[in-house]
Structure 1
């Protein structure tokens, strides 16, 4: 081989070495850039996963709250299912009480009154089975959640704010007041 070819080969080897060095640097820069891109992508994906997990947990909590509310509503509906019927029956019960206070004589009257008392007892027993209770008023302290004051009176023998008379009975269904008692309260 001649010397010129040798020099070209040496130059070519040097050029090849330079080209490899440049390629390695470029490759290293690209690898570093690629790793940074992947790291950023990974962080974004982790943020999205965290957001979706939080969203899932909130939805799950909302659903549990919804189920609890539905269950409470169902229980209340079952507990107070007869409220509208009872509200409709109370005026008839009041009329029975007024009719039984009427005085009269004779065998027919006493038979009629006895029949009315039996019907009245049947109604009150059926209401008691459903959880209806009469609100006691006379002699008790006035309670605005149980009583409706329609008059005030003055009785020196009674304490202030005590119910003196009851004009209309009040009723409670379990723990809910269906109708407050209409009362006269001492000053």
Structure 2
């Protein structure tokens, strides 16, 4: 009985297999689907290739920009070194006339020269040097009779007096200097304080 059932089942399967035919509409839909999938894959491949090219271009651009940046850094570093190396050149160029004057004064001093001539020559050298320094922005801080300014003065002594207002610069012990209005050395000064009455 089992054998008969098996044979019957096999016959039914064969009939069903023969009965399933693929209709032309299904075939056409499959072809359209295959074509669409192929187009999508082709388009995706093109898109991926385009993205790879853009990425490659951007990488090349990045490498060039980094090289330019590194070259710029090297050039800036070299220029900075050159600037430091020759920073004093302008100052020295301004001081050369004073150096020349000093050299002339030194050469003019003979063993039998009079003291007045030596003083005159060195005064000339000092004035020339001061002029050269003023030309590059140096100013002296040496005025007396003005109010004490902690940014321009450094008090060394206090002088009791009632003749001047308190905290007035009475005496400049060592000149101060400013370069282009910036204090590079404050003046050492004596400052007035109120004199106490003895009684």
Question: TM-score scaled by structure 2?
Answer: 0.46
**Larger relative contact order (C-alpha < 8 A, sep ≥ 6)?**
1
Question: TM-score scaled by structure 1?
Answer: 0.48
